[in-house]
Structure 1
Amino acid sequence: MDKSGKLILVPTPIGNLQDITLRAIEVLKNADVVLAEDTRVSSKLMKHLEIEKRLVSHHKFNEHKTVNSIVQQIEMGSLVALISDAGTPAISDPGFLLVRSCVENQIEVECLPGATALIPALAVSGLPTEKFVFEGFLPQKKGRQTRLKFLAEETRTMILYESPFRLVKALNQLATFLGEDRQACVCRELSKMFEEVKRGSLNELENYYTEHPPKGEIVIVVEGNNGK
């Protein structure tokens, strides 16, 4: 494959290690540098794929300091692959700053299609899929209520990421601002052994997860405001 200087974003499995494309494997094998959000997590995937490659840390705590040196490496002809712990880099994960810097320096950036949690969650939710908005993680403190008030008027299906430790609180707040009867779907541990999909009103889901404290990665899909 062409190894001229380039940045390639490589989606990685969100749970099941089999969910990686042949093209992604080829890129990881041929990359001069593989940037990883957490080298300990990514080393397990690389071992599973039988790829021996040194991983370089690139995460939210050091990305501001490392962007320039990475850009320089690419400008010198290096093929750099960026992976996150799970899913597609730069989507609620590190990557945006590096991509922006590459674009500003007229460096080619490519993103492979692949695993992401938001699309499977939307597809199985049973909620309208023709128009949707991805909100990622809601603000933790400042601006949270303002955002929830804004979302109360959103007519498109909404997709949010949430921590299992904050799920019940998030469902409670969504019910408060959007209405207890607003339909929603909580997807937990997608593609993993204990995958769980629960559908119902925000109030019903809050009650369920209050009685059954969740674990693992969480995606919340919420019905848009249909005027009822």
Structure 2
Amino acid sequence: MIRFRISLLSLIFCCLTNFVWAQGSNAYELSGNTLIHLRQVGLPLEILRDLQSLIGIRFDAKEDLRAALQKLPHSLTTEALEQIEQFAEMRRLQLQAQEFSGDQKKGELVFRGEVQGELPREQLRFSSELLNLVRQENYEKMRSEGSVEVEQWDRTLQAGFLFYERVEEGFTNEDIRGPAQILRFNEEFRASAKQGKISGNLMQADLLRQQVLLQGRSEAEP
């Protein structure tokens, strides 16, 4: 059951936090996640196998990507070509809110009021009332409050509060020493995917050590 909980939470939240800080770009690059999304939309298995040879290669323009795709063993339909381009495009998470403030020296961004975010490359949608992001050398933190909701394909999560912290080797303060990767959320959270459902009052996950603490009224369905 612990493995299920970790995998479900990692799929939703690690994806979100990893891409919050992605640089905006018109470039294209295929990743393992790209192939997962293309499989979800029904791309044939033989095409997915061909695309594995392009994982990790950066293409600075759409024409460069198309030239590489045309050299694959199996030819692509126009629809398949457009789908690959959609999920390979390196666009950052798009955020909007009623209020925004930032502190460049502290590496902090704050979004308030009807916060909504979308990452087309990952088919990820996010909403809350407050989103606080902090990025420093070897340290990242995300805090979100008020009707937090995350959706990606069949995966959904709802909670009143979400906290994520990632600390790399070499970072130390009074509260935490790296490396660490902690995810915590509470206030009646619910998470669901094809693998099952989790709900409760508090969950804290140590994503590096693969440990989960679950408290309060809870249920877990495989």
When normalised by structure 1's length, the TM-score is 0.30
Between Structure 1 and Structure 2, which shows a larger proportion of helix residues? 1
When normalised by structure 2's length, the TM-score is 0.30
- Name which structure has the greater RCO, CA cutoff 8 Å, separation 6+: 1
